[in-house]
Structures are given as structure tokens and as C-alpha cells.
Amino acid sequence: MRRSGLLNPALTSAVARLGHTDTFVIADCGLPIPHAVPVIDLTLTFGIPTFADTLAALLDEVVVEAATIADTTPPEVRSLLPAVPLTEVSHDDLKREVARASFVVRTGSTTPFANVILRSGVPF
């Protein structure tokens, strides 16, 4: 068993495979996800796990050089990414970009539009 960090085997494996500029998504439980995109579904019940807890755990594990959010993203979600350069697109454009992601992490969040596309960076 790992001492700390991510414990979910599928999520740990997906994160380990990320390369520079690969993208992945952290999503609320209602985001439509294209069938071809792998989903790591962490949803237990509505609200569990939260978007904020999931994002915090992943930001501890992954170098993130940029993020894409929808113009409808609520301020409480935006505030969770203070050090990450943000690109804002329409919600429809964000949904189209999900199709290019390496994987999607589905949370139990019921906050409308709590979705972010994160771009993997390098630690040097």
C-alpha cells in the first residue's frame, strides 16, 4: 500500500502515464463524456467526493501548466486554481475538448459546470 497521495489504482496509473501537454478532465457528475474517453468514476453519492477534494488531490500529484474552464464555471471553482493560467471557452467548446482528453475523473459534485480540463506540465 502507498504511504500517501493517490490510492485509487486506476487514477494512479492514469496519472503516471501523462506526458507533457496531455490533458485530463475533472468533472461534476453530470458532464456528458464521449464513449471513447476513459472514465475514472470516483462517484460514491451526490456530493462525494467533492470537486474541490478531487482537484486538490490531483494538484498534489500532477504538474499542471494550464487549465481550460467554461465561461459558466462558478467563482468557487475558479478560486481553486489561483496559480494556474486559465483559458475560458464556451461550455459547448469545453464539452467538445473533453473528447481529446487522456481521461476524465468523474466526481460526485452536483455544482453546475464544475468541470476543468487540466494540461500536464513538467517539473523542470
Which secondary-structure segment (H or E) carries 10? Answer: helix 9-16
Among this protein's residues, is 20 annotated catalytic?
Answer: yes
CA distances from residue 77 to 35, 46, 67 in whole angstroms, order as listed: 26, 17, 12
Which residue do the cell numbers 476543468 mark?
A: 116
Catalytic residue among 5, 8, 13, 20: 20
Return the CATH number at 29: 3.40.1650.10
Q: Is there a domain that residue 114 lies in?
A: yes
Whether the full predicted model's pTM is greater than 0.85, yes or no, is: yes
Annotated binding residue 41: no
N-terminal to C-terminal alpha carbon distance within the chain: 28
Q: Residue 3 — very low, low, confident or very high, per pLDDT cuts 50/70/90? A: confident
Residue 58 within a domain: yes
Q: Is 91 annotated as a binding residue?
A: yes
48-69 pLDDT, tens digit per residue, is 999 999 999 999 999 999 999 9
**Is 24 labelled as part of a ligand binding site?**
no
What's the grid cell of residue 111? 455544482
Q: What is the mean pLDDT of the segment spanning 19-33? A: 98
Supply the range of the domain harboring residue 69: 9-34+54-120
Q: pLDDT per residue over 78-115, tens digit each?
A: 999 999 999 999 999 999 999 999 999 999 999 999 99
Question: Domains in the chain: how many in total?
Answer: 1
Residue carrying C-alpha cell 473528447? 99
Residue-wise pLDDT for 108-119, tens only, equals 999 999 999 999
For residue 43, being part of any structural domain is answered with no
